[in-house]
Structure 1
Amino acid sequence: MRELQLSDWLPTTNKEVKIRGWEELDVILFSGDAYIDHPTFGAAVIGRLLESFGLRVAIVPQPNVHDNLQDFVKLGRPKMFFGVTGGCMDPMVSNYNANKRKRDKDAYTPNGDIGFRPDYATSVYSNILKEKWPDVPVLIGGIEASLRRVTHYDYWSDELKPTILETSKADMLVYGMGEQPLREVVRLMQRGVPFSSLTTINQTAVLLGKEDKIPKNSNWEDIEIVPHEVCLVDKKKFASNFKVIEQESNKLRARRIFQKVGEKTLMINPPYPTMTEEEMDASFDLPYTRLPHPKYNKRGPIPAFEMIKFSINIHRGCFGGCSFCTISAHQGKFIASRSQESILKEVDLVANMPDFKGYLSDIGGPSANMYKMKGKVQSICDKCVAPSCISPVICSNLDTSHKPLTELYQAVDSHPKVKKSFIGSGIRHDMLVPEFNKNADPKELDAYTEEVMTKHVSGRLKVAPEHTSDPVLKLMRKPSFQYFHKFKERFDKINIKKNLKLQLIPYFISNHPACEVEDMANLAAETKDMGFQLEQVQGFTPTPMTVATVIYYSGYHPYTLKKVNTPISQKEKEEQHRFFFWYKDENKAWIKKTLNKLGRQDLLSVLLPEKNERWRKNKPKGDAKHTFDDAVPFNRRKNKAKFKKKKR
């Protein structure tokens, strides 16, 4: 492997521009992240893509917004446009936790230091650029821009905000993964088309002025959603918008969306078709150094890079459509997979890095086990508007074969320098349960599960059932908890058969819409029954462009427009979260008081049996409210129904 030179990275300073012999730049990118020249980081992907078109591209990572704003003028005026992204995460998620408290680490900054990324970074950067260079087009993209492209609820300010095109004053927004629309932007500009005329490019959005004419496109149908000003005063109408936005985002033949914002009109063009295998390979095969820029050498490691340094991304997209998740909103519902050849080529690059010790940290994607999965009959997918391919049941048209994935793992492990490859991404355990994945070959599912457990896990397998309450899971677009029980049975069987001694680590969420305190008590008791003392837990954080966030703010489900109860106050959230930690002494008295108040002594006897021994010895006979059998874990859902019947 040759020794890298400074010129191997995209330039970040005037000195580096001069090293390349350039007198001017075509595009200058601004990013809220440190510059890591790796295909996992969006700014690097876009920079390398633009470079592959023959453009002279520079990047200004984490520009200083607190001084004289020199970072925004130091590279001069680009010939074509400025590109702006807040980073790989929404800056508000990077900067604050679920309780709106400032984080003490930023994973995308050297040494994890904070203070290098402003709140609402995309809008901050774009506004500065429009002030400094009013006649230079600004194009925004990345997850912050993508998920804030229409009227959206912002949890951190607790208010509805208009499209980010309004707050940022940017000229164009690219949503989703940016390779396809940017290719067309550059192609047209190189042909002499002015930026202001680029209004009919797929997967872009623009804000039209009062006097602007609606661009014509005979290939598209149009639909108008509720105006921003109406959303501000009518939560139910705001909620109704989301169904249109989500369905059109996931259609293969989508409509163009319009929304009034004051006297302006937001126009969101339909997305591009899912990237082909050839397009995916081309993006990942660009000449990345795979390393942070040398300017960070003395500032300390970048946590996000250290985590993915020896990992391989094999696909994009997720057809799970979980109500609390933004992956499908940004990357799309349909899976875009790389070829095995491209993946193995990257494995070889990683294996030959000087500090590679033989261990790949992850062979995965947004969900680890969706590689190469797609519809069996494409024409059926063409007409589909369902936000999830696996909820409430797995679509009969979905090919969920895990064979290509099992074969890929085996091909990766055959590399002479790879000692072991791990699966660090989340595995959809429900797709490995034949009772749920009824169209799959059970032997194939077991072969994949056994392959993962025996060769790709180090002590612990992490999965995400998320909850135990069926009503909550239904709203989450997750399967019934009974399928987690089924998966655990198969997991335990393989564990014993192979003498592995692996741990199963489930992830759970508290205070999600539709979740009540009693649901959390059931969750705590049921998981304790199964032998778990939970550690991988989190509180629900409302982020733009999810069903759950729309419900959290409006109180209405966007698909049914029926009311949904949601924990809103800090007290409600903290109380629900406490049930995760029933085993902590500081929670026991509160749990006892709460469950006695709810009349759920059955749950109390499971969670704190030593505290409830007196009641158990003297429990009344013949009262369904006090039915408990120590020897056999009972079905709490049936018990709950009995209690309600008794109360009535």
Structure 2
Amino acid sequence: MSAPQSIFQYKKYWAKRFGTAPFLPMSKEEMEKLGWDQCDIILVTGDAYVDHPSFGMAIVGRLLENQGFRVGIIAQPDWYDVNAFKVLGEPKLFFGVTAGNMDSMVNRYTSDKKIRTDDAYTPNAAPGKRPDRSVIVYSQKVRQAYKSVPIILGGIEASLRRIAHYDYWSEKVRRSVLMDAKADLLLFGNAERALVDVAHRIASGANIKDITDIRGTVFMVDSIGPDWIEQDSTTLDKPGQLSPPVNPYQMISPDKTKPVNAKSDISHSKNHSREKIVVRLPSYEAVCDDPIMYAHTSRVLHLESNPGNARILVQRVGNRDLWINPPPIPLEMDEM
């Protein structure tokens, strides 16, 4: 992994000369008033654009603007019309796509799978302004509009769905949202540091396919190189049989209860540097068919979630590998 550096240590992008925009542009007319001929980065979001810290894309947009980039926003576009994704033209660097502050399915449906009557992140709380699984729909429309422009996913919907996951709404296990969205890169967790790094690398001419050493990123690879040491996830957590649900109302005398061994069967490799270890999770196909392996995969994902010692995870999906780098290092106080 590349060593994290302060987000203030990067050289400002040349477009910093345009200064700070009163509001991030949402149309060509607003771009022209700022003297821009093109956006460097365009953010597509399922939320309305309100230039306030309670709206995630406002913070992300201003963060990138502070780095010198010209940032535009497409908020709650009509997902039936590809032209809605062309209102700002083609960005010079990449599209950033997010469902917004909430998972789009949670935002639109109740736990009873009934459609909600309001949306807190839409003007007048109007419902129905974003599609189901917004990250997938928006990304596919962006790809339809501009086939060669890199697409980067982020936000809570992308983060929670970065590996094979159980989808409550369809009652099945779905593969990583990165694949369904046909995006190039996924940033998860507190991605400010990763986003700034990726933006500057692409601006410097790097191909997004070659950006593989940044924490908090997920991408697809054809195979694992010879420099990596592969470790099976079952050496970290031993899958066991599922226990039947306990009836809380059943009367059991103390002498018939069995002691519970809370010690987990976890081992760690001591022969190799953790930085060179790749933990092999059960494949997408395996977790689809086996609830025990699904539970095991979820447990290992959580075990490897500490930025201080987490290792790289990989999960086979078809004939390719989903590569999940360790979580990002949190920002320092002055960076926040």
Fold equivalence (TM over 0.5): yes
Q: 2:202 aligned to 184, 189, 201, which one?
A: 189
Q: CA deviation at 1:47?
A: 0.6
CA distance 1:130–1:216, change in 2 (3 Å): farther
Superposition map of 1:480-495 within 5 A:
none
Letter in 2 for 1:143: I
TM-superposed CA distance for 1:45, in Å, is 1.2
Within 5 Å, which residues of 2 pair with 1:143-542? 143-208=156-221, 210=222, 214=225, 219-280=275-336
- Give the superposition deviation at 1:189: 2.0
Amino acid at match of 1:231: V
Give the equivalent residue in structure 1 for 2:136. 123
Does 2:99 match 1:86?
yes
Any unmatched runs of 5+ in structure 1?
A: 1-5, 281-648
Tell me the distance in 2 between the aligned counterparts of 1:215 and 1:23: 45
- Give the superposition deviation at 1:220: 4.0
TM-score normalised per structure 2: 0.78
1:105 matched to 2:118? The reply is yes
Deviation at 1:216, TM superposition (A): 5.7
Write the letter of the residue equivalent to 1:192: G
Q: CA deviation at 1:255?
A: 0.1
Aligned pair count reads 272
3-state secondary structure, aligned to 2:128: coil
- Give 1:599's aligned residue: none
**Counterparts of 2:76 and 2:180 in 1: how far apart (Å)?**
20
Instruction: Answer 1 or 2: higher relative contact order, Cα 8 Å, separation at least 6.
Output: 2
Cα offset for 1:221? 2.4
Quick one: distance in 1 between partners of 2:227 and 2:205?
Answer: 20
Q: Does 1:70 align with 2:83?
A: yes
Contact 1:82 1:136 in 2 (8 A): yes
Q: Residue 75 of structure 2 corresponds to which residue in structure 1?
A: 61
Identity across matched positions, percent: 41
State the secondary structure of the residue aligned to 1:181.
Answer: helix
Residues 7 and 19 in structure 1, CA contact (< 8 A), matched pair in contact too: no
| Farther-moved stretch of structure 1 (212-221 vs 47-56) | 212-221
Aligned with 2:61 (options 37, 47, 51): 47
- SS state at 1:206 partner: strand
**Conservation of the 8 A alpha-carbon contact between 2:110 and 2:116:** yes
Structure 1 or 2: more helix by fraction: 1
**Deviation at 1:215?**
9.1
RMSD (CA atoms) = 1.7
**Aligned partner letter, 1:172:** L
Which residue of structure 1 aligns with residue 29 of structure 2?
Answer: 15
CA distance in 1, matches of 2:225, 2:26: 39
2:5 equivalent in structure 1? none
**Superposed CA offset, 1:423-457 (max 9, x none):** xxxxxxxxxxxxxxxxxxxxxxxxxxxxxxxxxxx
Q: Secondary structure at 2:43's aligned position in 1?
A: strand
User: Contact 1:7–1:16 (CA<8 Å) still a contact in 2?
Assistant: no
The Cα offsets for residues 60-114 of structure 1, whole Å up to 9 and x where unpaired, read as: 0001013x32211121111110000001000001000010000000111011101
Q: Partner amino acid for 1:57? A: V
What is the alpha-carbon distance in structure 1 between the residues aligned to residue 134 and residue 298 of structure 2?
A: 24
Over alpha carbons, which structure has the higher Rg? 1
Q: Secondary structure at the match of 1:242?
A: helix
Instruction: Provide the secondary structure at the position in 1 that maps to 2:73.
Output: strand
Check 1:173–1:127 CA distance in 2 against 1; reply closer, same or farther (3 A cut).
same
Q: Are 2:190 and 2:328, in contact at CA under 8 Å, matched by a contact in 1? A: no
- Secondary structure of 1:250's counterpart equals coil
Quick one: which amino acid aligns to residue 249 of structure 1?
S
4+ runs of 1 displaced by more than 6 Å?
Answer: none
Structure 1: distance between partners of 2:289 and 2:203 = 45
1:162-199 Cα distance to aligned partner (Å, 9 max, x none): 00011111100000012110111122223322222111
CA distance in 1, matches of 2:227, 2:151: 23
